[in-house]
A = this chain, B = another copy of it.
Amino acid sequence: MTQKRQLAGDLRISDTGNQVVLKGWVQKRRDLGGLIFIDLRDRSGVVQAVFSPAKNESALKIAESVRSEYVIEVRGDVVKRDESTINDKMATGDIEVLVEEVYVLNEAKNPPFTVLDGEDVSEDVRLKYRYLDLRRESMQQTFKLRHQASQVMRSFLNDEGYLEMETPMLTKSTPEGARDYLVPSRVHQGHFYALPQSPQLFKQLIMVAGFERYFQFARCFRDEDLRADRQPEFTQIDIETSFMSEEEIMAMTERMMQRVMKEVKGVELTLPLPRLTYDDAMSRYGSDKPDTRFGLELVDLSDVVENAGFKVFKDAVTNGGKVSAINVQGFADAFSRKDIDKLTEFVKIYGAKGLAWLKVTEGELTGPIAKFFDADEQAAIKTTLEAKDNDLLLFIADKTAVVYDSLGALRQKIAKDLDLVDETAFNFLWVTDWPLLEYDKDLGRYFAAHHPFTLPQKQDIDKLHTAPEEVKASAYDLVLNGFELGGGSLRIYKKDLQEKMFEVLGFTKEEANEQFAFLMQALEYGAPPHGGIALGFDRLVMLLAGKTNLRDTILFPKTASASDPLTNAPGTVSEQQLDELHLAFKVKNTEGS
């Protein structure tokens, strides 16, 4: 057949009368009244091919031999279906192809699962036969979306004058990050490359090199224990720019998200995006990545209850903690005591000692702790929480961190249980004014909350040594529907401030200049003010595609133990390969090698 191939899913009623050549997979075969019907699938979709003895006996004969997932080529005429057989659910449902000629291009064994969406298959089997799993319609759609999103963002960044640049994968292990994946050097005995956790330092060098606007869809690696939303390798949209303010970088990012949302999802995003300071996010949502698709905000009642008769509340405030509550409006009658007991168990996961509650019934607060509050206090509670009849009020009194963690988790659980989340919404928001440093009690020192290159806010620089915990960073995170999409910051661009920062982190000047030698040196040769952002591309695709598992957005992902059931990576290697790398396996429980 020398005729040009057409795509099955693109055929329409207007093609009626045309002869077409199609190539693709057998989705389903049905034998009916001496005829054979095959749903023929290619990358564009599915069309029905009909084999009849009247049209071609030998083609029918061949069709009898094909099974699901065979690869075939057919030539035939596009014809209108009988009214009675029109299928409204298929884009090609009002036509079919009457086959004159058919070739089997390749056979297929009976697949371990059907390639149709909806069949419940264990993830191990899906990953082992990933090439079959990926044939499913929903997987095909996800990777088309992934492609489209990357093209839209690339095109946006190109339009704004950003250059796509590639930083090395074989780099050097540096302190202060997560665990590196290492690559032993054959040439330099005893030396290792590290796979990058992010191109952070390279993108800063690109700024020092004067390119001003850089981006990359960067593969990054972290050898950490994996969770559902983590992979050992992942892709981030990595952006860095010189001479731009925090506001300008955020505005650029917003325009990019606006374009992606419009072109990929058809959703109009209103700019500027909402913002919360880190402190507000914590006190209102108990989370630094709040999901604002539903209410159930935390309300601080410390002032209201600190002098009340309820000792638990009073003590929490007196001991420097706080009392906050959420109002589950209109659902008091939906929660039995037993239900509330379950919520109490739930908040204990987050360290809360207990969960106090009140209901509003005919204007009155009811429940076991109601008696501890006098009329004024009850009125104040109701006013502060805007409580009305049939509202359920849930209180945590504890250390501030515990209050935030437990109520933050509780509001998400309740929203999910009560189906309060608008699943069609895309709620973006910025979280700003992050703390620069976090204190690690176990190690007895400060760590960078983002990374050690983050610029402190100007007004706080003097506090670096005197009150490090109060210093805010010029940093911003972009949150979507309760997920951290990514974050960025302005960077330190003067050597003395970078030295000071390392000092706070416990490095001597000598250590800093040795371990971050090339950065420290680069800052001496005309480094411009710069900053940037990095967004998790896999996660963005997950949210745009409406998926809940990161593995559904990565073509060939790893399992939770960082292995690949398809290729069986990682694998063993030969003695010779180890020899060339000057390496040996450490024998367990013996003294060295």
Q: Identify the A interface with B (CB < 8 A).
A: 5, 23, 25, 41-43, 69-71, 105-109, 111, 129-135, 140, 143-144, 146-147, 150-151, 154-155, 158, 161, 163-173, 179-195, 201-202, 205-206, 208-213, 217, 219, 221, 223, 232-233, 235, 242-243, 493-494, 517-518, 522, 524-529, 554-556, 558, 561-564, 566-573, 577-588, 592-593
How far apart sit A371 and B331, CA to CA, in the bound complex (Å)? 113
Q: Are A566 and B71 in contact (CB under 8 A)?
A: no
How far apart sit A107 and B553, CA to CA, in the bound complex (Å)? 45
CB distance from A199 to the nearest CB of B (A): 10
Taking A212-B43, A213-B43, A569-B193 as contacts, is the C-beta distance between A168 and B563 under 8 angstroms? no
CB distance from A454 to the nearest CB of B (A): 17
Taking A526-B107, A568-B172 as contacts, is the C-beta distance between A579 and B586 under 8 angstroms? yes
- List 14 interface pairs A-B (beta carbons < 8 Å), by A numbering: A42-B210, A130-B209, A131-B208, A131-B209, A134-B210, A143-B163, A143-B165, A166-B555, A168-B555, A169-B221, A170-B221, A172-B569, A172-B570, A518-B566
Q: Are A528 and B571 in contact (CB under 8 A)?
A: no
> Which residues does chain B contribute within 8 Å of A242, judged by CB atoms?
23
CB distance from A409 to the nearest CB of B (A): 29
Taking A140-B211, A593-B593 as contacts, is the C-beta distance between A563 and B188 under 8 angstroms? yes
| A182 CB contact (under 8 Å) in B131, B233, B581 | B581
Q: Are A188 and B561 in contact (CB under 8 A)?
A: yes
Taking A134-B209, A143-B165, A181-B183 as contacts, is the C-beta distance between A171 and B202 under 8 angstroms? no
A108 to B, closest residue via Cβ: B526
Q: Are A524 and B109 in contact (CB under 8 A)?
A: yes
Contacts A131-B205, A585-B593 known; 20 new A-B pairs at CB < 8 A: A42-B210, A70-B526, A106-B493, A131-B206, A134-B206, A143-B165, A154-B154, A166-B217, A166-B219, A166-B554, A168-B558, A168-B564, A169-B219, A170-B562, A173-B571, A181-B183, A187-B563, A201-B567, A202-B555, A583-B585
Most buried by B among A70, A213, A570: A570
| A41 CB contact (under 8 Å) in B158, B210, B517, B571 | B210
Q: Are B182 and A43 in contact (CB under 8 A)?
A: no
> Which residues does chain B contribute within 8 Å of A593, judged by CB atoms?
584-587, 593
Q: Are A571 and B106 in contact (CB under 8 A)?
A: no
How far apart sit A526 and B185, CA to CA, in the bound complex (Å)? 41
> Which residues does chain B contribute within 8 Å of A563, judged by CB atoms?
187-188
CB distance from A291 to the nearest CB of B (A): 28
CB distance from A172 to the nearest CB of B (A): 4
Q: Copy number of this protein in the oligomer?
A: 2
CB distance from A443 to the nearest CB of B (A): 15
> Which residues does chain B contribute within 8 Å of A109, judged by CB atoms?
524-525
A189 to B, closest residue via Cβ: B585
> Which residues does chain B contribute within 8 Å of A556, judged by CB atoms?
167-168, 202, 205
Q: Are B41 and A170 in contact (CB under 8 A)?
A: no
> Which residues does chain B contribute within 8 Å of A223, judged by CB atoms?
186
CB distance from A70 to the nearest CB of B (A): 6
How far apart sit A212 and B41, CA to CA, in the bound complex (Å)? 12
Q: Are B164 and A233 in contact (CB under 8 A)?
A: no
Q: Are A233 and B169 in contact (CB under 8 A)?
A: yes
CB distance from A323 to the nearest CB of B (A): 44
Q: Nearest 4 pairs between A and B by C-beta? A: A108-B526, A593-B593, A134-B209, A172-B569
Q: Are A23 and B528 in contact (CB under 8 A)?
A: yes
Q: Are A105 and B181 in contact (CB under 8 A)?
A: no
Q: Are B167 and A158 in contact (CB under 8 A)?
A: no
A593 to B, closest residue via Cβ: B593
How far apart sit A211 and B517, CA to CA, in the bound complex (Å)? 46
Most buried by B among A161, A561, A572: A572
A105 to B, closest residue via Cβ: B529
Taking A181-B183, A190-B585 as contacts, is the C-beta distance between A147 and B169 under 8 angstroms? no
Q: Are A569 and B171 in contact (CB under 8 A)?
A: yes
CB distance from A338 to the nearest CB of B (A): 42
Q: Are A525 and B561 in contact (CB under 8 A)?
A: no
CB distance from A490 to the nearest CB of B (A): 13
How far apart sit A529 and B23, CA to CA, in the bound complex (Å)? 10
A587 to B, closest residue via Cβ: B593
Q: Are A585 and B582 in contact (CB under 8 A)?
A: yes
CB distance from A177 to the nearest CB of B (A): 12
How far apart sit A233 and B168, CA to CA, in the bound complex (Å)? 8
Q: Are B183 and A571 in contact (CB under 8 A)?
A: no
Q: Are B210 and A573 in contact (CB under 8 A)?
A: no
Q: Are A572 and B168 in contact (CB under 8 A)?
A: no
Taking A143-B163, A555-B167 as contacts, is the C-beta distance between A192 and B572 under 8 angstroms? yes
A494 to B, closest residue via Cβ: B106
A73 to B, closest residue via Cβ: B243
> Which residues does chain B contribute within 8 Å of A581, judged by CB atoms?
182
Taking A5-B243, A209-B130 as contacts, is the C-beta distance between A526 and B71 under 8 angstroms? yes
> Which residues does chain B contribute within 8 Å of A494, judged by CB atoms?
106
Taking A210-B25, A243-B23, A556-B167 as contacts, is the C-beta distance between A129 and B586 under 8 angstroms? no
| A169 CB contact (under 8 Å) in B69, B130, B169, B580 | B169
> Which residues does chain B contribute within 8 Å of A190, judged by CB atoms?
572, 585
A527 to B, closest residue via Cβ: B106
> Which residues does chain B contribute within 8 Å of A572, judged by CB atoms?
190-192
> Which residues does chain B contribute within 8 Å of A212, judged by CB atoms?
42-43
Taking A183-B183, A184-B184 as contacts, is the C-beta distance between A571 and B25 under 8 angstroms? no
